[in-house]
Amino acid sequence: MAVHTVKYWLTEHPNIVNFRWSPTQSYASTWFFLFTAVSSYVIAAVSLHILLAVTRRRRGLSLGPIPALHSLAMALISTVIFVGILLFAAAEIRDTRWLWRRTRTTALQWFLCFPVGTRASGRVFFWSYAFYLSRFLHLFRTFFAVIRRRKLSFFQLINQSSLLCISFLWLEYSQSFQVVAILLTTVSYAVVYGYRFWTAIGLRGACFPLVVNCQAVLLGCLTVCHVGVLCIHLVKRGGCNGIGAWLFNSVLNAVISLLYLKFYVQTRSLSLRKQ
């Protein structure tokens, strides 16, 4: 009974099945809103950093339990999105298996490559929309870092802004690749934010940099999937939907990967020096 209830609320609810990405029906679905949100985020973060630098306080300010509660909320939200899109994928495979046989489409091809003409409606785009909205909650971590550690990272600004734009493009252009990307990203976030909550309440952390390694594995998996999309697009008749947006997505992902690789190398070098 409980399993059927969960499936109904995560895959069969009318609001999920009948979802449609539209500027008139979906909140935060316009280009103007996206540009305003990203600009406001960057300006607010830089302004806060400058303001705190002017005060010349050596120590950061305490935020109490707020970061821990934020990590817990993000872990739970990521888990719900992961379970929701996983159940959706199972339902979609069940409902369209007959069509796959006629078009000779495999599950892997469907995960990475939407057919040309796919519209942003239905279950997958509902959970993609939920993921897009959750990206706004991720922005708070930048402000936490500035307030607590007096540190504003250029990589963090670029990373958060780029991921917000990428999740918007997934919906705007019904972009291929988003199903597997959301699955990989949400399971990674569930682990990372769960670990951050674990350590924030005073429990013992891992003996290795779990957060850094999880993010490195995520970027590696996404890069492999990008290569898979390109191969399927070149081989499949008609190609994949939203390939132009996917190309822009790939460029942003490459930039993020290079910046993160630089950060990862610097982090490993500092840890080896301390040893």
CB count within 10 Å of CB 123 equals 23
Domain that holds residue 172: 1-273
**pTM score:** 0.91
Half-sphere exposure of 271 (CA within 13 A, CB side): 10
Structure tokens that stand for 155 in this block: 């990589």
Write down the pLDDT at residue 155. 83
Give the residue from 155, 139, 164 showing the smallest Cα distance to 48. Answer: 139
Write down the pLDDT at residue 215. 87
In three-state secondary structure terms, 133 is helix
CB count within 10 Å of CB 156 equals 18
Residues 6+ apart with CB under 8 A from 48: 143, 146, 147
Give the residue from 263, 138, 133, 151 showing the smallest Cα distance to 188. Answer: 138
Angstrom CA distances, 31 to 131, 258, 269, stand at 17, 27, 41
How many independent structural domains does the chain possess? 1
Residues 165/251, Cβ–Cβ less than 8 Å: no
Q: Which residues of the chain fall below pLDDT 50?
A: none
Write down the pLDDT at residue 249. 87
For residues 83 and 89, give the distance between their C-alpha atoms in angstroms, rounded to a whole number: 10
